[in-house]
């Protein structure tokens, strides 16, 4: 299982990458896409929508199930990966690269805390 060392992870199997200032790029992990199976549809969050930690912000449908993707941070969705609407299978092929789900702009002064580093996420998924 691929777990890049330069990302943070949630217990709900989302990855986060801080992108300067208060913007966070978010996607689902390799573990999550593998558990889902072949992804056939991705419902993206709406640009401009406000999200709260733990609230459903997106939905991924696979040949096995339908799963919510939860916002790991509070803020406003400022980008959504529209390419996933046409090629949802990218989530299976490149979950940490081209298949990111959205970018959330956090409020000024927000800090990323309570997330797992790569080693802790490996322990979570392998334990």
**At 70, which CATH number?**
2.40.50.100
Whether residue 1 is contained in a domain is answered as no
Per the structure, the count of domains in the chain is: 1
Please tell me whether the overall predicted TM-score, pTM, comes out greater than 0.85 for this model: yes
For residue 123, give the 3-state DSSP assignment: helix
In the structure encoding, which two tokens stand for residue 41, read together? 């549809």
Distance CA 47, CA 52 (A): 14
Place of tokens 């996420």: 121
The tens digit of pLDDT for each residue in 111-120 reads 888 999 999 9
Average pLDDT, the chain: 94
Whether residue 45 is contained in a domain is answered as yes
Q: Which domain holds residue 91?
A: 12-126
Q: Determine phi and psi for 11, rounding to 5 degrees.
A: -65, -15
Whether residue 59 is contained in a domain is answered as yes
Whether residue 2 is contained in a domain is answered as no
109 pLDDT tier (thresholds 50, 70, 90):
confident
Whether residue 7 is contained in a domain is answered as no
The tens digit of pLDDT for each residue in 5-34 reads 999 999 999 999 999 889 999 999 999 999
């Amino acid at each position: 299982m691929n777990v890049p060392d330069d990302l943070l992870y949630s217990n709900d199997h989302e990855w986060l990458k801080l992108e300067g200032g208060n913007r966070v790029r978010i996607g689902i992990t390799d573990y999550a896409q593998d558990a889902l199976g072949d992804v056939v549809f991705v419902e993206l969050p709406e640009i401009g929508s406000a999200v709260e930690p733990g609230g459903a912000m997106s939905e991924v449908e696979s040949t096995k199930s339908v799963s919510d993707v939860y916002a790991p941070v509070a803020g406003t969705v400022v980008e959504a990966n529209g390419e996933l609407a046409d090629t949802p299978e990218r989530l299976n092929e490149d979950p940490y690269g081209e298949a990111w789900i959205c970018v959330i702009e956090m409020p000024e002064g927000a800090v990323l805390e309570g997330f797992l580093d790569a080693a802790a996420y490996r322990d979570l998924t392998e334990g």
